[in-house]
Structure 1
Amino acid sequence: MTSPSTPHTAPPASPTGIPADASAAPTVPAPRDAVVEQRPARRRRDPFFDNAKFMAIVLVVAGHSIVNLRDVRAAHALYMFVYTFHMPVFIVITGYFSRNFTFSGRKAQKLIVNLGVPYVVFETAYSTYHWAVGHSKFEISILDPYYLTWFLMALFLWRLSTPVWQQIRWPVLAAVLISLLSAMTALPGELEMHRTLGLVPFYVLGLVLKPEHFEMLKRPVARVLGGITLVLALAFTYLFADRHMTTEWMYWRDGNADMHVNNLVGSGMRLGLLVGAGILVFAFLTMVPARQTWFTNLGATTLYAYLLHGFATKLMEYMGWYDTPFLHTLPGIAVTALTGAVLATILCTPPVRWLMHWALEPDMSWAFVPLRRPKSV
């Protein structure tokens, strides 16, 4: 779930690979009346990634919609299947578009505005919402993310770590080791450390991927293999994992001790989940259209759907609507999941962005000092 303003293509380079202003030979200044101001061309978004984000957010919202219907085996299996890879998809894509992150210029400020401010706003909003319906005392803990806001906290920390991963020779291997070792330790609940460290391999994987890797996923043979992989994984989940594996493994929020397994078993489970989720991420991406579609533009605002849909799903839970017998049938599950998909679509539309941009894309220029321009030599 990258921020709505994240560009999807790298700026064009000169044939030599050196920025044009550095490689050009000195020239005689043109007359003042001949000087024309050249504005940089706006970088075009790649529809493939916007399509992928929209399809993924539909899975997220549909999955959250049926979370309380898991007493039905089909709903439980579908929930586990989706939860294996739906957030890793976002994390891989986010890592891919974080490759050029540095602390120079305005990038650090954008990190605060695009992630830090929405985190504080929605952490406060969800905590207040939870209190207002009588489910807890009034408490807002900025360091202890509530519900959906964990992803913003984790993404903030992952992006800060980007320059570190880029200095490591085998970053994915290092990230996997950190993920496994973190589960052997009783980490504090603040900052969602188990999730942040447990899922970091997907972010680092995104950092090391290159455009040609995604081009391979667009080939017809890849699409066929990806479709077969997804079908087999769903069948495996229904026939085996649904009965022999708790969904707590999919949340990545507890260590081995809290899962009541020793470190050997816990490491094996987590390594299997990392590999399995990675395979499903690429299988899912083979299903993504590379062309412009009716939902491509909606994929640019998936953060709106992610942060806003929780108010609706929580309302159903608070009001006891999930106790309706019809919802615990196969048609009821289908209707609920479809309703979640429609809700995700609506929350990505321009009217919602117009209403809520103050919270997700706030103008915070007043809060920062002016950017200093380098002195000319």
Structure 2
Amino acid sequence: MFHAPNGFSRAPLPQARESEPVPTTQESATPALAAGAEKAPAKSTSRDAYFDNAKYLAIVLVAIAHAWEPVMDGSRASRALYLLVYTFHMPAFILISGYFSRSYTGRPDQLRRLLTGIAVPYVVFEIVYSLFRRWAQHAPEQPISLLDPFYLTWFLAALFIWRLTAPLWRLIRWPVPVALALASLAALTPDIGADLNLQRVLQFLPFFVLGLSLKPEHFQMVRRREVRLLALPLFAGAGAFAYWASPRMNFSWLYRSSSAQELGEPWWVGVVMTLAFFGCAALLTAGFLAWVPGRRTWFTVLGAGTICGYLGHGLLIKAADYGHVFETYAWLSDPSGEIVLTLIAVAAVTLLCTPPVRRALRFVTEPEMTWAFRRDAAKLSPRR
């Protein structure tokens, strides 16, 4: 979100296919991340190992960052790593989601997939997360609102909105600058409200639009050997800067869920931070993509189940939070404890992305729902 040991493949990447599964985000989300929003093709041979590898590695980073969050405050190094990873893991996930939305035109079959692959999982998991919170906190009065995404479900709501707007962005001459302008305006507008987490939807929008604007040759470009080598000093420099900035940074900027005024800053700081984080995230995402293997690996098959990993690991994090695990076992804030949490997060999200789990959750994450659609809907789609 990358080719074999030599790092460069002369074979061009295949064109993006509308049937390619999209990851689900944080944010995060992230989704995303996050995460498999579109249906898998009938034959696994039609999948591109490069993007499946990218989606799996991105969802692993999402899970690790969420595991670090409750225990990182006592360590500057941990905060620096968190800042580094959080700067690009959701943008990378969102960029890939945008890339695989390039063929979306609003055809009936695409709208059906949008409803079954994004809207239905959003509704189901929003209810599941909310009921779990009610049960764990013994607070039956807490509301369940489909307009106020809870925890990780924001990415599904955002992806639904972003994909609906995909045809519009293809009409605009300068889509990325326009998306950046909207994100900047959102960052200085405190009255957007919490409905569908629109603040976050707008502030992350440029990464989706950037993905829409990319072509296969752009991904081929970042897989070149020289780009991979350049990625090493890039991440080294970013890590050093993150170490310097971690005690000075308000991490709320990472989540894109608040305006500058809500963070106690002048309005113009929102514009500066939006542009700065976009530039940093774009560079780090390119560096990340440069090192993703392009060949089939043991984890390639897991890229098809990232929506299960994304939504499932959130329940595990919340279970530990509600159970006061991080407060009870203070040693988890030590370096050894953080390593243990990292390994647990990697193992858990890997298990959740496996084919058996994906098949078990398909009735929620990839439902057919033929009963809900008109039988002649397919005839409304133009023949390819």
Establish whether TM, by shorter chain, passes 0.5: yes
CA change 1:322–1:41 in 2 (3 A) is closer
Offset at residue 325 of structure 1 (A): 2.2
Q: Name the stretch that deviates more: 226-235 or 338-347.
A: 226-235
SS of the residue corresponding to residue 244 of structure 1 reads coil
Distance in 2, matches of 1:294 and 1:375, equals: 38
CA change 1:176–1:374 in 2 (3 A) is closer
The reply on whether 1:268 has 2:250 as its aligned counterpart is no
C-alpha deviations, 1:81-109, integer Å up to 9, x for none? 11111110111001001001011130001
In the alignment, which residue of structure 1 is the partner of 2:28? none
In the alignment, which residue of structure 2 is the partner of 1:90? 93
C-alpha deviations, 1:138-195, integer Å up to 9, x for none? 3210010000000000000000000110110000010000100112212011011110
In the alignment, which residue of structure 1 is the partner of 2:234? 229
The reply on whether 1:187 has 2:224 as its aligned counterpart is no
Find the partner of 1:110 among 110, 113, 116: 113
In the alignment, which residue of structure 1 is the partner of 2:134? 131
CA change 1:221–1:253 in 2 (3 A) is same
Distance in 1, matches of 2:64 and 2:286, equals: 20
In the alignment, which residue of structure 2 is the partner of 1:37? none
Structure exhibiting the larger radius of gyration computed from Cα positions: 1
CA change 1:108–1:375 in 2 (3 A) is closer
Answer yes or no: is the 8 Å Cα contact 2:16–2:216 preserved in 1. Answer: no
- 2:156 partner amino acid: L
Answer yes or no: is the 8 Å Cα contact 2:137–2:322 preserved in 1. Answer: no
Offset at residue 231 of structure 1 (A): 2.1
Offset at residue 269 of structure 1 (A): 1.4
Q: Name the stretch that deviates more: 187-196 or 350-359.
A: 350-359
Query: Percent of aligned pairs with the same residue?
Result: 43
Offset at residue 217 of structure 1 (A): 1.2
Moved segments of 4+, more than 3 Å: 8-11, 40-43
Number of residue equivalences: 341
CA change 1:327–1:165 in 2 (3 A) is same
Find the partner of 2:63 among 54, 61, 64: 61
Answer yes or no: is the 8 Å Cα contact 1:9–1:46 preserved in 2. Answer: no
Distance in 1, matches of 2:367 and 2:70, equals: 34
In the alignment, which residue of structure 2 is the partner of 1:47? 49
Find the partner of 1:373 among 368, 373, 379: 379
In the alignment, which residue of structure 2 is the partner of 1:339? 344
In the alignment, which residue of structure 1 is the partner of 2:155? 151
The reply on whether 1:207 has 2:207 as its aligned counterpart is no
Answer yes or no: is the 8 Å Cα contact 1:69–1:76 preserved in 2. Answer: no
In the alignment, which residue of structure 2 is the partner of 1:277? 281
Offset at residue 256 of structure 1 (A): 1.4
Distance in 2, matches of 1:155 and 1:227, equals: 31
Answer yes or no: is the 8 Å Cα contact 1:80–1:247 preserved in 2. Answer: yes
Answer yes or no: is the 8 Å Cα contact 2:188–2:268 preserved in 1. Answer: no
Distance in 2, matches of 1:375 and 1:289, equals: 36
In the alignment, which residue of structure 2 is the partner of 1:4? none
Q: Name the stretch that deviates more: 68-77 or 133-142.
A: 133-142
Find the partner of 1:328 among 324, 333, 354: 333
SS of the residue corresponding to residue 103 of structure 1 reads coil
In the alignment, which residue of structure 1 is the partner of 2:39? none
SS of the residue corresponding to residue 258 of structure 1 reads helix
Distance in 1, matches of 2:381 and 2:276, equals: 53
Distance in 2, matches of 1:348 and 1:373, equals: 34
Q: Name the stretch that deviates more: 217-226 or 196-205.
A: 217-226
Distance in 2, matches of 1:46 and 1:228, equals: 28
Listed as ranges, the gaps of 5+ residues in structure 2 are 2-13, 18-41
In the alignment, which residue of structure 2 is the partner of 1:21? none
Offset at residue 227 of structure 1 (A): 2.2
CA change 1:251–1:42 in 2 (3 A) is closer
Distance in 2, matches of 1:9 and 1:65, equals: 35
What is the aligned-residue RMSD (CA, Å)? 1.9
Offset at residue 307 of structure 1 (A): 0.4
- 2:379 partner amino acid: R
Which runs of structure 2 are paired with 1:236-255 in the superposition (5 Å)?
236-238=241-243, 240-255=244-259
In the alignment, which residue of structure 2 is the partner of 1:26? none
Offset at residue 374 of structure 1 (A): 6.5
SS of the residue corresponding to residue 139 of structure 1 reads coil
Answer yes or no: is the 8 Å Cα contact 1:298–1:349 preserved in 2. Answer: yes
CA change 1:99–1:43 in 2 (3 A) is farther
Q: Name the stretch that deviates more: 130-139 or 77-86.
A: 130-139
Q: Name the stretch that deviates more: 118-127 or 341-350.
A: 341-350
In the alignment, which residue of structure 1 is the partner of 2:307? 303
Answer yes or no: is the 8 Å Cα contact 1:9–1:44 preserved in 2. Answer: no
